[in-house]
Amino acid sequence: MTTAPEAPVARHGTSRLVDLFEYGLAAPICLTWELTYACNLSCDHCLSSSGRRDPRELSTAEAKAVIDELEAMQVFYVNIGGGEPTVRPDFFELIDYATGHHVGVKFSTNGIRITPAVARRLARNDYVDVQISLDGATAEVNDAVRGAGSYATAIRAMENLADAGMRNFKLSVVCTRHNIPQMDEFKALADRYGAQLRLTRLRPAGRGADVWDELHPLPAQQRQLYDWLVAHGDTVLTGDSFFHLSAYGQALPGLNLCGAGRVVCLIDPVGDVYACPFAIHEDFLAGNVRTPGGFAEVWRDSELFQRLRAPQNGGACASCAFYDTCKGGCMAAKFFTGLPLDGPDPECVRGHGEELLARRPQDGTRLPKPSVDHSHRTSPARRSRPVDLTLVRRREDLDRPPVSACAEGPLTGFRLTGTGDQK
């Protein structure tokens, strides 16, 4: 761009900024807040477990107190998710409270409540953004995972939002083995409704890696996705989803860094604070917003977050030529697939993850299990069986989303600009 020795406004992608971020920020950039695990009616279409609300769920007053803290800390926006957040009776009250206090809201929904009236209401509020989840660009592919009718529900929601004049809402896709060939179709779908496409990585979350094993992209598909992102990366949002793919060659647009406890965190419905929405396990529990110091103290001082912000050593990855951009990949993906945290990502593009996965005990007994269960199953959970998609759809089998298809990549939608170019 210029011959300036060093632009005082740093540019996206400079490793130095990433290095600065590694020491943690004064407040999170991306805070995911799961307001409730409650979900509307039949959850055939919903991989996000849920059921009844947790009796210990933060009350309206407590949630507002959290928002006050976020305002004071200048958290620019929160990603609201959960079961289906719109079923919380005070959902709109909380949204209005947050946006009235300079905390923007992005929320994810399966679309079921996005009626024309709700769409108009959302479109009126500049501080609200909506993300519609779809896992297939066709009803066939989508409904196989999310349940019959869910494709139609999402499309109707997008129509309503577009008709209400909402622009640049997000069409949110978790990339799986089944939909990676559909990237162009997803893009066309987003364009049709004036939406922006966000792609997130399928991460093994909560209940273990069995479903992930069946759904995560095959090595050749990772390459296909990488090539697609290189060609279209500036028109889609990916956040920190695919930095492990940068080892194929060039760094991809997005944030190339694991932000857990540094840039990102999760507040769950009962106020527990975790390092990342994909790391719901006591090993990554930093504290609770109900403690006297509140969220601010947990963010600033928790022993866990301090540790995550200390310089990390690359372990088995340190000698890898791509470590600078890949950084060994996603902590949560390693953790829930039973791999060492200081080694390669299970989807390491150089194949090192696969080697390690193959050496794990075959019965899955060593895989970490979530130590908390906030979602209320309607019958006793049955664990780990051979995976098929039909099983995935059955809510009673899920105590946590086996794959967080409804959850948000913490940094997806995140765009860093220093020079004004949209990256």
Partner 1 sequence: MTTMDLDRAWDLHPQVSVRPEPFGALLYHFGTRKLSFLKDRRLLTAVQSLADTPTARAACLASGITEAELPRYGRALAALVQSSMLVGRTS
Q: Is 336 in the site for ligand SF4 (CB under 6 A)?
A: no
Nearest alpha carbon to residue 32 among 312, 338, 300, 404: 404
| Strand ranges (E), 135-193 | 170-175
Residue number with CB closer to partner 1 (29 or 349): 29
User: What is d(CA 372, CA 363) in angstroms, rounded to the nearest whole number?
Assistant: 22
**Dihedral in degrees, nearest 10, Cα atoms 222, 206, 413, 262:** -110
- Binds ligand SF4 by CB under 6 A, chosen from 180, 199, 326, 339: 326
Of 46-54, 124-132, 215-223, 298-306, the window that binds partner 1 (rule: CB under 8 A) is: 124-132
Torsional sign, CA 209, 184, 134, 109: positive
Token duo for residue 84: 């289906």
Query: Which residues from 372-411 bind ligand SF4, rule CB under 6 A?
Result: 410
- Binds ligand SF4 by CB under 6 A, chosen from 240, 272, 397, 399: 240
Of 17-25, 266-274, 340-348, 379-387, the window that binds partner 1 (rule: CB under 8 A) is: 17-25
Q: Is 328 in the site for ligand SF4 (CB under 6 A)?
A: yes
- Binds partner 1 by CB under 8 A, chosen from 29, 157, 164, 225: 29
Residue number with CB closer to partner 1 (228 or 414): 414
Residue number with CB closer to partner 1 (74 or 115): 74
Residue number with CB closer to ligand SF4 (85 or 259): 259
Element (DSSP H or E) covering residue 409:
none
Residue number with CB closer to partner 1 (278 or 414): 414
**Ramachandran category for residue 288: left, alpha or beta (phi over 0 → left; psi -120 to 50 → alpha):** beta
151-157: Cβ within 8 A, 24+ apart: 153/45, 153/110, 153/111, 153/112, 154/110, 154/111, 156/111, 156/114, 157/109, 157/111, 157/112, 157/114, 157/119, 157/132
- Binds partner 1 by CB under 8 A, chosen from 44, 68, 76, 315: 76
**Smallest distance, ligand SF4 to C-beta of residue 205, A:** 9
181-184: Cβ within 8 A, 24+ apart: 181/224, 182/136, 182/137, 182/138, 182/141, 183/225, 183/228, 183/232
Q: Is 331 in the site for ligand SF4 (CB under 6 A)?
A: yes
User: What is d(CA 404, CA 154) in angstroms, rounded to the nearest whole number?
Assistant: 18
Q: Is 276 in the site for ligand SF4 (CB under 6 A)?
A: yes
Q: Is 368 in the site for partner 1 (CB under 8 A)?
A: no
User: What is d(CA 267, CA 273) in angstroms, rounded to the nearest whole number?
Assistant: 5
Q: Which does residue 144 bind out of partner 1, ligand SF4, none, counting CB within 5 to 8 angstroms by kind?
A: none
Q: Is 416 in the site for partner 1 (CB under 8 A)?
A: yes
Residue number with CB closer to ligand SF4 (63 or 255): 255
User: What is d(CA 354, CA 348) in angstroms, rounded to the nearest whole number?
Assistant: 8
User: What is d(CA 275, CA 283) in angstroms, rounded to the nearest whole number?
Assistant: 9
Q: Which does residue 127 bind out of ligand SF4, partner 1, none, counting CB within 5 to 8 angstroms by kind?
A: partner 1
User: What is d(CA 336, CA 328) in angstroms, rounded to the nearest whole number?
Assistant: 15
Site residues (CB under 6 A) for ligand SF4?
203, 240, 244, 247, 258-260, 264, 276, 278-279, 317, 320, 322-323, 326, 328-332, 344-345, 348-350, 352, 410
Binding site for partner 1 (CB under 8 A): 1-2, 4-5, 7-10, 16-17, 20, 23, 25-27, 29, 74, 76-77, 102, 104, 126-127, 129, 168, 413-420, 422
